[in-house]
Amino acid sequence: MINSKDFFIALDLLEKQKKINKEFFISTLEAALTSAYKKNFGEAKSAIVKLNPEKNTIKVYAYKTVVTEVEDPDKEIALEDAKKIKSTYKVGDMVSEEVTPKSFGRIAAQTARQVVMQRLNEAEKGNIAAELNTKGDQITTAIVRNIDAKNVYLELGGVEAEGVLNENDQIPGEKFEIGDRVKVYIKRVKESNYGSLVQVSRTNVGFVKKLFELEIPEVESGEVQIKNIVREPGFRTKIAIFSSNPNLDPVGVCVGQRGTRINAIVSELNGEKIDIIPWSQDIFEYIAAALSPAEVISVEINEDEKSSKVIVPDNKLSLAIGKEGMNVRLAARLTGWKIDVKSESSAAKSSEKTEPKEVNFEEISTDGSDLFDDVETIV
């Protein structure tokens, strides 16, 4: 018998401090000690180690089957010998007998130490993973610890875990140095044999959303709602916003006084342009606004095909389309409608066979249109 009062007291402390379930720990330790016993005293033995927290003991029990003639002494016991232990034993019964070796204390201590360290490591990994999972869909500040040809490895703030910023999650053109502090968006947590590996991003649209929540209290509180975000990282983002408060200008709120709020976000995004679009249930207004910073003369729609034709001034055509079609492509993704942009002169030369639904924007100004010009100048 091994008296292990201090050992069981330590288990109680581990359960309280490290949140390790003691019953599961004891079960794991019993299996490890049983394996250690067999390794040191004979693999063939049918033995099991039992821990008793109430009595603070660790005992080894050998199990043998009662037989009339013994062929395997490690696993069998003669009926005559079994009856000496207990008169009611009969052939086929299992006889248990304590066989704790005097030298088992040292083996038990070594094994227990190994199991404790293993379980502590596993518990730490589990606690870190649990904490990181609560941080999912959040921004955290990280410190650059290592850089290779494509990836940036980060020490995440508040947790002992490594974050990796893959090449596709880096904003094009940005450079990092060892020791830099950088904001990143937590995408997902992956478990490995080496612990929790956190995949982070600066190109995910969730990063922009969280930056708006961080910089603009009205977005954080829900007074200004983000309806949709589309992005080509490093170049342009379009964000559709809405507020049910008629006394609140959501675009102005996001821009901030003299552009202070939007400029802080643009700076974090390495100079990426941001178009703040007032979301509208009126698809004509929404499509026209989505093509910001370009002016729009008219919008025609085909509801069956969910497509639209937009007419813009001749000198605004390239602005509406954007470099390599980026502006119109982002507008289409933002609204969910196909958008075909034509110049005013080109449209005048075309003859339409049918009269589609059309809204003219020459004399209609959408809310916040003046601010769009300001935002474009700012960002």
Tell me which H or E stretch contains 14. helix 5-18
CATH number at residue 198: 2.40.50.140
Q: Are residues 21 and 119 in the same domain?
A: yes
Alpha-carbon separation of residue 95 from 6, 49, 57, 79, 84 (angstroms):
31, 15, 21, 10, 11
Q: Are residues 323 and 248 in the same domain?
A: yes
Answer whether the bond into residue 246 is a cis peptide, omega within 30°: no
Q: Are residues 74 and 92 in the same domain?
A: yes
Q: What is the pLDDT of residue 125?
A: 58
Q: Are residues 103 and 217 in the same domain?
A: no
> Of the residues 161, 185, 202, which one is the last residue of a structural domain?
202
**CA distance linking residue 204 with residue 197, whole number of Å:** 18
133 located within any domain? no
Q: What one-character DSSP code corresponds to residue 323?
A: G
The torsion defined by the Cα of 69, 72, 73 and 79, in degrees rounded to 10, comes to: -30
**CA distance linking residue 181 with residue 169, whole number of Å:** 16
Q: Which residues of the chain have pLDDT under 70?
A: 1-4, 6, 17-20, 42-45, 103-109, 112-113, 116, 119-136, 157-160, 191-196, 351-379
Residues of the domain holding 187: 138-202
Q: What is the pLDDT of residue 315?
A: 94
Q: What is the pLDDT of residue 18?
A: 65
Q: Is 57 helix (H, G, I), strand (E, B) or coil?
A: strand
Q: Are residues 238 and 365 in the same domain?
A: yes
CATH number at residue 247: 3.30.300.20
Number of domains in the chain: 3
133-157 pLDDT per residue, tens: 555 678 888 999 999 988 999 988 6
Q: Are residues 267 and 316 in the same domain?
A: yes
Which residues lie across from 48 on neighbouring strands?
A: 61
CATH number at residue 52: 3.30.1480.10
